[in-house]
Amino acid sequence: MSPLYWILLLALASLWGGGFLLIEAALEGFAPLSVAFWRVALASATLFTIALLRGERPPRDFRLWLSFAALGLLSNVLPFLLISWAQQTISPCTAATLCALTPLFTLVVARCASSREPLTPSKLVAITLGLGGVLTVALPGNPSAATPSALALAAVMAAALSYAGGSIVGKRFAGHSPLLVAACMLGCSTLLLAPVVVVQGSLLPTAALTASILAVVGLAEGSTALGFVVYFAILRGAGPIFLSWISFLVPIATGLLTALWFRKVPEPAVIAAAVLIIAGLLVLQFFPSDPAAKKAGAPTEAAPVRSYAIQIAIVAAGRVHR
């Protein structure tokens, strides 16, 4: 693999891992609803501009737009709101660690949605390790900053489950331009959030803090818009299996950036939870999901490990086979 793609992968991990820190900074001057709205609104404008400059035009099929709206609801609106709300109580590292549960939740959602997605022993081990990570963070006595609220932890796990549901909806977009799918998804998310933001009076910041405004812009244009551009570059040049390593790197990047920016090491409980969840992801990565096929000599592919936002785009690009 070319060193360029490793550099891009590390850059993407930094963009997405740093997003959790930007959310925390943005919450100093914006309500959670406002953070979610401006994130999708600014990012959708940027991606639509890029798509139009590339000569891509939005589809005219109304039913397809309904699917974009469903994808936006599950992949942007609900998770962005839940994570922003939860980070009023829990640390960025805790949020990033729990979001890494998305690939494991995807296994459960896929099994419920299709009888052709059996829960093999390797998948059960991965899910068990992931649940162990959740319990490590949620157990009473966890020394994380001001004992994390059970509701905040549940909100981040609900966000991860929403991302997993979005991966099922995302299957409908195989064969469509992934960049245009991302732009349309974010555009629909903006339209879904706009009425709520206006009614709630959350459009403007609650405090005119320059740092919070810059954090929202960085979250939208860096973590979301630029993140998608880098993601697509890796997907085209290195493929989805290589890209799946982002699942391991995002929680690590969040921890390292936290240590560098705030001069503090993540809480021991969060580190232990990250180890357990990453161990579960490694089980998915290196153990075949169809042992019978392997014995028969059929070609098998390491189960793609999907991360929160990228699993949607991978499915939308039609490049991953379960």
Concatenating the DSSP letter of every residue in 37-71 gives HHHHHHHHHHHHHHHHHTT------HHHHHHHHHH
Checking if the pLDDT of 63 tops 70, the result is yes
pLDDT in tens, 149-174: 788 888 998 998 888 888 777 777 76
pLDDT, position 78 = 94
Confidence of residue 184 (pLDDT cuts 50, 70, 90): very high
Instruction: Give residue 140's pLDDT band: very low, low, confident or very high (50, 70, 90).
Output: low
Give how far Cα 137 sits from Cα of 59, 115, 149, 154, 267, Å: 44, 32, 11, 11, 10
pLDDT of residue 99: 85
Element (H, E) at 203: none
Q: How many CA atoms lie within 13 A of 29 on its CB side?
A: 17
DSSP letters for 248-299: HHHHHHHHHHHHHHHS-PPPHHHHHHHHHHHHHHHHHHHS-S-HHHHHTT--
pLDDT digits 0-9 by tens, 201-228: 777 777 768 889 999 999 999 999 998 8
**Rounded CA gap, 263 and 292, in Å?**
49
Residue entry with tokens 């990228």: 310
What proportion of the chain, given as a percentage, has pLDDT over 90? Answer: 28
Nearest to 123 by CA among 316, 306, 284: 284
Domain boundaries of the chain, sorted by first residue? 3-317
Distance CA 180, CA 173 (A): 10
- Residue with the bigger pLDDT between 14 and 175: it is 14
pLDDT for 65-123, tens place per residue? 998 999 899 989 999 999 999 999 888 888 888 887 777 777 777 777 665 666 677 77
For the question of whether the overall pTM of this predicted structure is more than 0.75, the answer is yes
Mean pLDDT across the chain, nearest whole number? 78
**211, 29 in Cβ contact below 8 A?**
yes
Question: For 142, which DSSP code?
Answer: -
Lowest pLDDT segment from 21-25, 37-41, 210-214, 305-309: 305-309
Of the ranges 154-168, 185-199, 252-266, 301-315, which is most confident?
185-199
Question: Which residue stretches of the chain are H helix?
Answer: 3-26, 32-53, 62-72, 78-86, 92-99, 102-113, 121-138, 150-170, 178-200, 210-218, 227-238, 240-243, 246-262, 268-286, 291-295, 308-317
